[in-house]
Amino acid sequence: MRVFESALLSLLAVPLACNSGPAADQASMAMSSLRSSSDRGSGDEQVQVRDDCDPATFDAALGPGACVGKGNTTLQEFFEELTETQTAKKWRFNNDQFGIDPGETIVATNRGGEAHTFTQVAEFGGGFVPQLNDLSGNPDVAPECQLPGAAATIVPPGGSRTVKAPASGTVKYQCCIHPWMRAVATVKQ
């Protein structure tokens, strides 16, 4: 139960980090640049950002609006699964591995009930919630997941974030809140 309480206290800091100060300013700018699904081009690679948060238990612990979805996983079940397996399988990116043409866009659309990030990282690592890093076995924070910078990559429930593929190489993306959520894009030659 101590792990659960510690992780819960850390999660309480997430809305605060995202709703005040420089991080809030960057998050606000990021959200204003989000494109709706009707703005997508047909050549875009689609990544669905998913979770299964239960609004009643997440909101009761984290505050109103922490989960606006229709999921069935309670906060306690979330922490139990994360503690046991170092992942919460319903918190994921679909597609998590894909090929993409140089310069093509990737549209990450949040179909879940919680805020997530879709952040390009050089190497996978932890995010900005220390207890979720510990429980998922990601003690070393990816530099790109440091606040306030990572706040600019937040994708709110129902929102989208569009990024452009580089000219070549392999590109890694992760959620800086839930660091086991990862995707790898390989740029086609």
Residue 115: what are its φ and ψ, rounded to 5°? -75, 145
pLDDT tens-digit profile of 144-170? 999 999 999 999 999 999 999 999 999
Q: CA nearest 4: which of 90, 82, 116?
A: 82
Question: What does pLDDT average to over the chain?
Answer: 84
| pLDDT of amino acid 43 | 65
Largest CA distance in the chain: 50
**CATH number, position 55:** 2.60.40.420
| pLDDT of amino acid 102 | 93
Q: With 80 as the cut, is the pLDDT of residue 172 above it?
A: yes
Burial label, 150 (beta-carbon count in 10 A; 0-12, 13-18, 19+): buried
Peptide bond between residue 95 and the one before it cis (omega within 30 degrees of 0): yes
CA distance 156 to 148: 16
Q: CA nearest 177: which of 76, 98, 78?
A: 78
The DSSP bridge partners found for residue 184 are 97, 172
The DSSP bridge partners found for residue 172 are 121, 184
Quote the number of domains for the chain.
Answer: 1
| pLDDT of amino acid 104 | 94
Give the tokens for residue 124. 């996978």
The 10 Å CB-count burial string (b at 16+, else e) for 24-35 is eebbeebbeebb
Q: 43 is in which domain, residue-wise?
A: 2-187
The predicted model gives 62-66 an average pLDDT of 95
State if pTM tops 0.75.
Answer: yes
Q: With 90 as the cut, is the pLDDT of residue 18 above it?
A: no
